[in-house]
Copies of this chain bind each other. A is one copy, B any other.
Amino acid sequence: MENLLSNIKIQVNEKVYLKDPDSSELGQKIIRGSIDLIDEIGFEQFTFKKLAADIGSTEASVYRYFDSKHHLLVYITLWYWGWMEYRLAFGLTNISSPEKRLKKAIKILTEVIEEDSTFSHVNEIKLNRIVISESSKIYHCKTVDEENTAGFFHAYKNLVQRVSDIIIEIDPEYKYPHMLVSTIIEGAHHQRFFAEHLPRLTDVIEGEDAITVFYQNMALGQLKK
């Protein structure tokens, strides 16, 4: 992805962190190091102690930024949703046909991620892998309602709403726009994971991005014009 803006910052809900990791060098090292380490060993094996060793800091210092590894995972996931919304906003400008806009939106949401040099402390390829394999853990937990009340999922809801609006523009009678969009987003993550680890649960097709094509067909096929 080309560098679109040089001074943009993805905002993440303030309640997720104790101290904004974007505000200091150590904070940025925590984010960069976490993305590297979670991608490498998985969220269950990931600890603040291992992270601190990796980035040359201490466990106690990491705890000054996040009060748990769960919140750190929430942070990087919300950052990802914020980044996706930014990609969508840019990707959809100047496309007047709502069908084309929807198709492009689905492509942006489901395609394989390439590195984005705009945000130097984030490796978007690793981040995408983490979101695919780990991010559902941020809501599949007993604290989900509390976290929802705290507004943690606004970024995700905004993204879903933005695409739902395009769907309603195409077919104002359509009854399930949010269901359709969240099915596409979550579904694409699952299919990418299955393609890598459990291929008999999906259909990998040589020479085409079957996942993106599948969800584009699915969405357009559902809507009347």
- Chain A residues with CB under 8 Å of chain B are 41-42, 44-45, 133-134, 136-137, 139-142, 144-145, 148, 153, 156-157, 160-161, 175-180, 182-183, 186-187, 190-191, 193-194, 197-198, 200-203, 205, 210-211, 214, 217-218, 221-222
Across the interface, which residues of B come within 8 angstroms of A157, CB to CB? Answer: 198, 200-201
- Whether B175 and A210, one on each chain, are in contact in the complex, defined by CB atoms closer than 8 angstroms, is yes
Residues of B within 8 A of A175 (CB): 203, 205, 210
Choose among B41, B136, B178 the residue that contacts A201 (Cβ–Cβ < 8 A).
B178
- Known contacts A176-B210, A186-B190; 11 additional CB pairs below 8 A are A41-B142, A44-B142, A139-B197, A144-B198, A148-B198, A156-B198, A176-B214, A178-B201, A179-B203, A218-B222, A221-B222
Cα(A129)–Cα(B173), bound, Å: 32
